[in-house]
Amino acid sequence: MLKESSKAKLRIWNIGAYNMSYTRNILITGGAGFIGSHLVRLMVNKYPHYRIVNLDKLTYAGNLKNLSDVEEKTNYTFVKADICDQKAIIDVFSNYQITDVIHLAAESHVDRSIEGPMEFVMTNVVGTVNLLQCAKDAWKDTEGNIFHHVSTDEVYGSLGAEGLFKETTSYDPRSPYSSSKASSDHFVRAFHHTYGMNIKLSNCSNNYGSHQFPEKLIPLMINNIVNKKPLPVYGKGDNIRDWLWVNDHASAIDRIFHDGRIGEAYNVGGLNEWTNIDLVKYLCGLLDEKLGRASGENESLITYVADRAGHDMRYAIDATKLENELNWRPSLEFEEGLSITVDWYLENSEWIEDITSGSYMDYYNDMYKNR
């Protein structure tokens, strides 16, 4: 006679690889992007009893090659769709019996939001509300479903020389990007307060690591240094960002998704503030060494250029709540993480070449379209 607990286990696992029934079917949006791909990899590998459905529109920022190492895993599925497309999202909830959502899909680059805000309104605001609405309808007869919204510290605005962003800091977004993310955060909270949806939010500082699109500061500077191109530092380079290794952000999302309190927001960061110019100079020195160039050679590439419009001066996160409540800590010192990151870009030059040539966009058609 099987005990009840063993029967439950059998029901869950139903081993026969392709018949496995999963304990959760988690929809991760934006999983082909920078942070999303790290989170998808973590979840697929750590939780074989979860089905991970990665939904991504594959904009310029989406690159399925980021996930080539997990694409054959039986608990991983990719769906190409736009979060603004109501029918497509309803179908995904129904086809995969989605139990939970971790929402990362977004337009994420501040400079692009200054050039053209509308795409940011569409994806970050309208897309998020569409996703919330579809989740609410799909989950009307079930309980315990979680909607985890991944947001940014930029919603809090810009700091002066002192102080840190806390979860209680008032929202004061100042760029079209941060305004669209703040708006999406408000809608997520509204679905909790109005409809009782089980939401969680996380607001993280600047991420760095492998697979980051080379329009963002760190991969752009590494790529330009390698190719001996000018290093465009905005303004005087005295703006401050608080950097966290992307895998530490992924581990924080994992922790908050599983153990964070319903209806709560958690700040994520590692108390690691750098002025842009100090960071660029540090990268120059690191790459002098790694590329065997003369000391100071790379620094001569630094070029001060016109400042970003409305450039936020300083971001800095207080992650005490996450540390105290959920016992999360960053796993790496910045210098170690940066060295690992630089080595990855040096060893994976074809990843950047695929992006600069545009061939990364063919991967979906080559590998997925006829599946």
Residue 233 binding partner per list ligand DAU, ligand NAD, none, with a CB distance cut-off of 5 to 8 Å that depends on partner kind = ligand DAU
Q: How far, in Å, are 47, 138, 237, 253, 356 from residue 223 at the CA level?
A: 34, 44, 19, 29, 11
Is 177 labeled as catalytic in the residue annotation? yes
Minimum distance of ligand NAD from residue 165's CB (angstroms): 12
CB of 245 closer than 8 Å to CB of 34: no
How far, in Å, CA of 163 to CA of 136, rounded? 38
Picked from ligand DAU, ligand NAD, none, the partner binding residue 224 (CB below 5 to 8 A depending on kind) is none
From 154, 242, 273, 312, active-site residue: 154
Identify which of 166, 298, 125 has the alpha carbon closest to the alpha carbon of residue 226.
298
> What does each C-alpha distance from 299 to 110, 341, 353 come to in angstroms?
25, 19, 24
Among 24, 43, 54, 56, binds ligand NAD (CB under 6 A): 56
Residue with tokens 């607001």: 203
Least separation in angstroms between residue 239's CB and ligand DAU is 4
Q: If contact means CB under 5 to 8 A according to the sort of partner, which of ligand DAU, ligand NAD, none does residue 232 touch?
A: ligand DAU
Query: Would you say how long the chain is, in residues?
Result: 371
Residue 207 as a binder of ligand NAD (CB under 6 A): the answer is yes
Q: Is 206 in the site for ligand NAD (CB under 6 A)?
A: yes
Q: Which does 110 bind (CB under 5 to 8 A by kind): ligand DAU, ligand NAD, none?
A: ligand DAU
Q: Under the criterion CB under 6 A, does residue 209 sit at the interface with ligand NAD?
A: no
Q: What, of ligand DAU, ligand NAD, none, does residue 123 touch, CB below 5 to 8 Å by kind?
A: ligand NAD
Residues 268-307 within binding reach of ligand NAD (CB under 6 A): none
Q: Applying CB under 6 A, which of residues 40, 79, 204, 222 lies at the interface with ligand NAD? A: 204
Number of residues located near ligand NAD, criterion CB under 6 A: 30
Give the residue from 48, 39, 35, 133 showing the smallest Cα distance to 84. Answer: 133
From 177, 266, 315, 360, the catalytic residue: 177
List helix spans (H) across the chain: 4-13, 34-46, 86-95, 110-115, 118-120, 128-138, 176-195, 217-226, 246-259, 276-290, 320-326, 334-347, 349-357, 363-367
Q: H or E element: which one contains 273?
A: strand 273-275
**Binding-site member from 75, 99, 108, 179 for ligand NAD (CB under 6 A):** 108
How many C-beta neighbours within 10 Å does residue 163 have? 11
Q: Least distance from C-beta 233 to ligand DAU, angstroms? A: 5
Options 9-17, 50-58, 162-170, 319-327: segment touching ligand NAD (CB under 6 A): 50-58
The region of 55-63, 157-165, 218-226, 324-332 touching ligand NAD under the rule CB under 6 A is 55-63
User: Is 254 an interacting residue with respect to ligand NAD (CB under 6 A)?
Assistant: no
> How far apart are the C-alpha atoms of 255 and 190, rounded to whole Å?
23
Phi, psi of 318 (to 5 degrees): -100, 110
Strand pairing class (50-56; 24-29): parallel
- Contact positions vs ligand DAU (CB under 6 A): 108-110, 152-154, 205-206, 216-217, 220, 232-234, 239, 241, 276, 308, 315
Buried b / exposed e over 203-226, threshold 16 CB at 10 Å, is bbbbbbbbbbbbebbbbbbbbbbb
Residue 154 a catalytic site member:
yes
Partner from ligand DAU, ligand NAD, none binding residue 64, C-beta < 5-8 Å depending on class: none
In the chain, how long is the greatest CA-to-CA distance?
76
**CA atoms lying within 13 Å on the CB side of residue 332:** 19
Q: Does 36 bind ligand NAD (CB under 6 A)?
A: yes
> Does 162 qualify as catalytic in the annotation?
no
- Closest contact distance (angstroms) between CB of 297 and ligand DAU is 20
Catalytic residues: 153-154, 177
Q: Where along the sequence are the contacts to ligand NAD (CB under 6 A)?
A: 29-30, 32-36, 56-59, 61-62, 82-84, 104-108, 123, 127, 150, 152, 181, 204, 206-207, 213
